[in-house]
Amino acid sequence: MSQCLHQVAGPVWNLGRLNHVAIAVPDLGKAAAFYKDVLGAQVSEAVPLPEHGVSVVFVDLGNTKVELLHPLGKDSPIAGFLQKNKAGGMHHICIEVDNIKAALMDLKNKRIRSLSDEAKIGAHGKPVVFLHPKDCGGVLVELEEA
């Protein structure tokens, strides 16, 4: 009987919508101009995020966003990505969750590795965590608390 009291009836967190697809680019201005001038999308100004080692531009697509990433300094993880992928390319996908702490704890119990022990504040000012691509079908997955 007491064993039943400790079982969780359902998940303590829920997966939400696709927030953005992130693309590493060697030239942030040129990439932003393509989305704005050629495709006619709404494009944000570049925002430096020194704590993540990147500058970002968001392209608003209405139902989701494209995040353009450019290295901020030579120690940026994006600099390493661009060394291997000179023309740039898809870096990660970001999916919203309603409770990032619960999601992280649950995923750890399921042996899904994260790249940090705790969530950090991301480009939208919300907690984010990245999941190891080797545990996610080869894709770097970012979870962002909605």
Long-range contact pairs involving 105-114 (C-beta distance under 8 Å, separation at least 24): 106/11, 106/12, 106/13, 107/131, 111/135, 112/136
The domain ranges of the chain are 12-145
CATH number for the segment(s) 12-145: 3.10.180.10
Q: What is the pLDDT of residues 68-106, one digit of tens each?
A: 999 998 889 999 999 999 999 999 999 999 999 999 999
The pTM of the full predicted model, rounded to 2 decimals, is: 0.88
Q: What is the pLDDT of residues 102-145, one digit of tens each?
A: 999 999 999 999 999 999 999 999 999 999 999 999 999 999 99
